[in-house]
Amino acid sequence: WSAVGIALVPYSGKGFEDPVQLLLRNGGTSIQMIMYVLSFTAIGTTLIGTYMILGEFFDDVVDQFRVTRMAQNKRSGIHAPPPPPPSASMLAKLSAKLSEPEVVRFGSAVLSSCPPLFLACLGPSLYYMALAFAGAYPLTVVFFITPPLLLVLQRSTLKDERREEKSDLSKRNRGRIRAGIYPGDNVSLYTLSILGAIMIISSLHRDLFPSR
């Protein structure tokens, strides 16, 4: 998508300009419709996936809380209260319904929807800040620094096993220790991690000391 957007925009020599904005302004009706459909599809799938994940997370939290509370009540000899009679007050009926699965599910849906909705109402600048932060720090750590270090740790563990068990290791593990899928021994892995750390330091310096 980035390659298509950049390729459709002619080079102006006037510095950076957002290809998406140029296409929306000068791309014609067909290009604009394609971009709108793609944007709404991408945002919609993200919203649906996030809503489902958060809903399941809050369901698990509420279920765990209910199980823990029921176990504590059982140890204390406290039994579940009987349902309120028809002549009970509206407040008593409402408090009894709060333990029903449908109400718990509704509460999970509210907890999944309201915080993102509140943040979205603050404006798109917050989203761009969060996106820049995620790309500069967490993603760099998860995909650039952590995997090489984990692979170094795995290789070290396999070498220790070979040293301790000697001939008991399988041929497959021996081949993985000697060659490995990723070449360059541990030097290349440490190099990748160092490059990731340099990227984080560069981003941190840019954020703390922005150029004026």
- Supply the pLDDT for residue 177: 46
Predicted pLDDT of residue 122: 83
Residue 95 to residue 75: CA distance in whole angstroms: 23
pLDDT tens series, the chain, 212 aa: 667 767 776 776 666 667 777 777 777 788 888 888 888 898 889 888 888 888 888 888 877 877 787 777 777 776 655 665 666 666 555 555 555 666 677 777 888 888 878 887 887 788 778 888 888 899 899 998 999 999 888 888 877 776 666 655 455 555 444 445 667 778 888 999 999 999 999 989 888 888 65
Q: What is the rounded distance in angstroms from the CA atom of residue 83 to the CA atom of residue 200?
A: 58
- CA dist 29 and 24 (Å) reads 9
Separation of alpha carbons 161 and 174, rounded Å:
10
pLDDT at 146: 93
CA angle 117, 56, 50 (to 5 degrees): 40
pLDDT for res 14: 66
pTM tops 0.85, yes or no? no
